[in-house]
Amino acid sequence: MKTQSFEFVSAGKHLSGFVDLPADGTARATILIVPGYGRTDVAGRTSYYDLRSLFTSIGIATVIWDKPGCGKSEGVFDPDQSVDSSATEILDAIREIRARGLPGSGRIGLWGISRAGWIAPLAIARDPTIAFWISVSGTDAEENFPYLLESNLRIEGRSEPEIAHLVGQWKRGFAITSHGGTFEDYLAATQDLRRDPFMIFLSDGAPATKANFLAEQARFTSGAFKVDPRTGLMIYVPRFDALLRRLNLPVLALFGEKDRNVDWRSTMALYARTIGRNPRASLTIRTFPDGNHNLQQAPTGGLREMMQMTEHRPAGGYQQAMVDWLGARVLNR
């Protein structure tokens, strides 16, 4: 493939990344790659290189960029950047692609993983000309950490009573954080959870601090973050069901059956009762028995295992599923 730099402005910041073109310089469509949670390093590493190579090999250009404050992109990295802000980045990137008349700009779609399951629908709702969406390890409407915690504690060897106790402590701690409790109340409610080896692994051993607690709490008391009164969990996209029902485009939803980060069964059911019932959309769902959250082959799918992987092998059939679907739905082969 041919790779060239790509820059655009979003929220007053210059964001930097790459455009990949098929070897002959032509393209019949373009896919924007939307990453999940955490920092990016597109400039310093060949991020998503296998994926970019796969798409360009079948005649589709790709566009990828670093989040604000990462790589060569301006700004300060915010691990809690709003999904609405990330959706705006997509729309600004699309405007730049079209303004330049880049190859494949006549048919633009999205590929997104994990957190992008909230971001992509927001962007599509605001730009209905987005032509297709590949959702990988997508999300349902609410915070998924209780699922992650329970699934991984089981892999880590905790007993079912221990799991119930630790997950209960997380929920009590979250309720205190989101509803205006004190830091001292939070510490008392989460004593065993904070001492658990898996939680220490997640936090790199950093202790809970009052400053971080108050900063997190302020997001809820200010109204920036909202909590569902029925489940007690954070809502990332209000009226998410209704939003998904309005998406009139082809969607390919891919899930690893060993995903221990997001509740893939819940998301799959959500897509089926929203996108799947829209006669102006089409929904294709595929699951992969050996796939973890990143759709890599995995023995358990645990988060610790995933973060420590040195050899990444795609789940069996995952890449071919995308090639076949793109051929039929996008390239009209």
Residue at 165: amino acid letter: H
Other C-beta atoms within 10 Å of 249: how many?
A: 19
What are the start and end residues of each CATH 3.40.50.1820 domain in the chain? 2-141+236-329
DSSP letter string over 261-272? Answer: SS-HHHHHHHHH
Query: Which parts of the chain sit beneath pLDDT 50?
Result: none
Q: What is the pLDDT of residue 331?
A: 94
CA distances from 172 to 185, 187, 238, 245 (A): 10, 10, 23, 33
Q: What is the pLDDT of residue 46?
A: 65
Residue closest to 253 by CA, chosen among 274, 232, 229 = 274
Q: What is the pLDDT of residue 45?
A: 67
Whether 178 and 227 have beta carbons less than 8 Å apart is answered as yes
Q: Sign of torsion, CA 262 81 241 91? A: negative
Q: What is the pLDDT of residue 284?
A: 98
Q: What is the pTM of this model?
A: 0.94
End-to-end CA gap in the chain: 21
CA 326 – CA 57 distance, rounded (Å): 12
Going by their DSSP bridges, the two strands 108-113 and 132-136 should be labelled as parallel
Pick the CATH number of 2-141+236-329 from 2.60.370.10, 3.40.50.1820, 3.40.718.10, 3.30.565.10: 3.40.50.1820
Q: What is the pLDDT of residues 250-297, one digit of tens each?
A: 999 999 999 999 999 999 999 999 999 999 999 999 999 999 999 999
